[in-house]
Structure 1
Amino acid sequence: MSVDLWEGALIDAAIWHARAGDVARQFSYHALYAALPVDALEDGRLPLCPDRPGLWRLRRRDYGARDGSALSAFIRAQLAPVGLGHCMSTLVTMPRGLIHGFNPVSFWLARDEAGLRAVLAEVSNTFGESHLYLCRHADNRVITRSDRLTGEKLFHVSPFLPREGCYVFRFDAGPGRFGAWVDWFGAGGGLRLQTSMVGPARALTRASLRRAALSHPLQPLRVSGLIHWQAAKMASRGIRYRQKPPQLALRASQASTPENDDV
């Protein structure tokens, strides 16, 4: 039986980056993510509970408003202004490990009885900053696996890429799997970077969570290390290093399609 992400799941994700343009490089690794229905998470009905100690932890202040407030209130505040406040939400994220926590990106999935309506991509960099990209169709129609949603790049992530151009997002919310594809097009319109996070979903139970935590207690530290190691390799090849610009005042934006797009 396929696992529904809205019931809670573990996702064995393969993460892949491929750079194009002046330099063609590939970077891939595996990580274990959790899909956490937000209301059940807040009510304590999942094996992983907010702000509790453990080998794997989830802290409210790592997400959303980053002040420790309710995650359910945060995601509803993002969805309500665009007419999606009625949707159920699931957070796809990498829990904190034993001594460290870092999420390059977490995905808040929002659906109703018809299907996936929106995805809020919460992107973080290694400088402690974050940005929210709300991905949805302009008319709020269901997002299918083949749909592409476009938004301006407004957040500095990599020191080897400029803060310009646009992202094209694509999502697959299962059942039985999760997939997110994000391509970056430079200011001139050419495809410069492709990324994906794809993997099968399995049931989230106390036993499966315990096994995951025991086998991946330092996972976020490993991911941070891999990112810095990849950056060191690129710098050693003479690829231009860009100083981080001040973060823009706009901390949330949208990726969408025109209202007159073909359905």
Structure 2
Amino acid sequence: MLEHIQARTHHARRGTLKNAFSYGVDYVLTDLGATKPWLISRNRFNIWSLWDRRHGGPRGDGRGAAWFKEVLREHGFQTDGARLLLLTQPSFLWFHFNPVSFWIALVDGAPRAFVAEVNNTFGHRHCYFCAHDDFRPIRRSDVLIAEKLMHVSPFQTVAGQYRFNFAMDETGIDIRIAFENGDQGVLATLRGNRRPATSRSLLWAALRRPMGALRILALIHWQAAILYLKRAPFLKKQPEPESLMSDSQTFGSAGK
């Protein structure tokens, strides 16, 4: 199973200093099985590629879907009968960078748990496990809250919380992440339709939005330059989180 999500992402800074931008981005939704379109491969070089070592575990030393299954079982989730998927930006040629990927557990077509796998430009990673305490379906209106534990932007402190709204059905995805720290924060969204990945769609993506991850890094640094020129407070590189994963407050309350 491999789908090509030609998505749109929007970021808007809240607080005294305003800044907003949106751009198109290419994601794939996959069960990390065999890949069919000839322009994309798993664990080998291609125009587009998916690598198990880039996901599921410490950055650069991942174990793919086996890691996600392990995480689910450790949290008491019964994986028998569940569909485990990864929503991510594939590598383009030699370039790879993912600000955020999502591991998703579906039962009867509805998301019951997900892991937001967050990476920063300093080489750090932290994963946020999000679910209801009884693993009931996650609806669009549900808000799953997680404490921010990793330095992501040099213009935002390591404080506050993420508020996730996660919607996924047979036709598309609609993810909303609101970072809130008092009257400061950032709203980020990712929306796109689900379509089977084809060589034609992947070739068009390579021509329309060339360089993949390198383009994403360039856009990140361009927006950082804009904030710097606007004299946004700049925070130096912070220490890496002590743990790889933390639980959302909704799920964490189950053990209290």
| TM-score, scaled to structure 2 | 0.90
1:61 partnered with 2:56: no
Paired amino acid for 1:123: V
Aligned-pair CA distance for 1:112: 1.4
Counterpart in the other structure of 1:111: 106
- The letter of the residue matching 1:58 is L
Q: What's the secondary structure of 1:57's corresponding residue?
A: strand
Indicate the structure with greater strand content.
2
Contact map agreement 1:114 1:142 (CA 8 A) in 2 = no
Question: 1:133 corresponds to which residue?
Answer: 128
Return the match for 2:229 from 224, 236, 242.
236
- Equivalent residue number for residue 169 of structure 2: 174
- Per-residue displacement from partner, 1:51-92 (whole Å, max 9, x unpaired)? 111111112221122465641211101111122241211111
Match of 1:194 among 187, 196, 213: 187
In structure 2, distance between residues paired with 1:82 and 1:252:
12
In structure 2, the residue matched to 1:142 is: 137
**Equivalent-residue separation in structure 2 for 1:46 and 1:37 (angstroms):** 13
Indicate conservation of the 8 Å contact 1:137/1:256, yes or no.
no
**2:215 alignment partner in structure 1:** 222
Structure 1 runs of 4+ with >6 Å offset: 258-261
The share of aligned pairs that are identical, in percent, is 35
Change in 2 beyond 3 A, CA 1:218/1:240: same
Deviates more, 1:22-31 or 1:163-172: 22-31
**Corresponding residue of 2:90:** 95
How many equivalent residue pairs?
249
Cα distance change, pair 64–114 in 1 and its aligned pair in 2 (3 A) = closer
Which structure 2 segments of 5+ residues have no match? none
- Paired with 1:213 and 1:237, the residues of 2 have a C-alpha distance of 33
Q: 1:132-158 CA distances to partner (integer Å, 9 max, x unpaired)?
A: 011111121110111110010001100
The residue number in structure 2 matching 1:21 is 15
- How many Å separate the matches in 1 of 2:117 and 2:69? 15
**Cα deviation per residue 1:136-191 (whole Å; 9 max; x = unaligned)?**
111211101111100100011000000001110011112111111100110x3x46
Taking a change above 3 Å as real, the CA distance of residues 56 and 45 of structure 1, as seen in their structure-2 partners, is closer
Structure-2 separation of matches of 1:9 and 1:58? 13
Higher alpha-carbon deviation: 198-207 or 24-33: 198-207
> Matched residues in 2 for 1:249 and 1:57: separation?
30
Residues 85, 216 of structure 1: CA spacing in aligned structure 2 closer, same or farther, 3 A cutoff?
Answer: farther
* Alpha-carbon distance, 1:45 to partner: 4.9
| Structure 1 contact 137–143 (Cα < 8 Å) conserved | yes
Distance, in Å, in 1 between the alignment partners of 2:135 and 2:147 is 19
CA separation in 1, counterparts of 2:25 and 2:98? 11
User: What are the superposed Cα offsets for residues 88-117 of structure 1, whole Å, 9 maximum, x if unpaired?
Assistant: 111111111123110000011111126210
Partner in structure 2 of residue 83 of structure 1? 76
Aligned counterpart in structure 1 of residue 44 of structure 2, from 52, 74, 79: 52
Q: SS of 2:42's equivalent?
A: coil
1:34 to 28, 33, 40: 28
**1:57 & 1:111 partners in 2: Cα distance?**
24
- Mind listing any 5+ residue stretches in structure 1 that lack a counterpart? 1-6
Backbone CA RMSD of aligned residues: 2.1
- Aligned equivalent of 2:178: 183
| Counterpart residue number, 2:146 | 151
SS of the equivalent of 1:49 reads: strand
